[in-house]
Amino acid sequence: MAVTVKYFASLRETLGRNEETIEFEDGMRLSRLWKKANDGEPMPESLMTAVNMEYVKGDVELADGDEVAFFPAVTGG
């Protein structure tokens, strides 16, 4: 199984990448995905998270093919 992970704005610049594919076995949750993608670092609490372009709250379980996005506070308008 695999998910696409996207990073935006200052987070994208800090991490130095904007998109990647992460493969995993069953039972992958958001916080573990972050750690797997970021050398075991815990997920910063201030980040906003979306799965399949919908905001999610909490440590939701992911499914094969999901598009996951991590980004800082939004500042549009």
Tell me the pairing of strands 2-7 and 67-71: parallel
Asked if 76 interacts with another protein (CB under 8 A), we say: yes
- Alpha-carbon distances of 31 from 6, 37, 48, 56, rounded to whole Å: 15, 10, 12, 12
Member of 1, 6, 24, 56 binding another protein (CB under 8 A): 6
Member of 1, 43, 47, 50 binding another protein (CB under 8 A): 50
Asked if 15 interacts with another protein (CB under 8 A), we say: no
Site residues for another protein per CB under 8 A? 6, 8-10, 13, 48, 50, 53-55, 69, 71-77
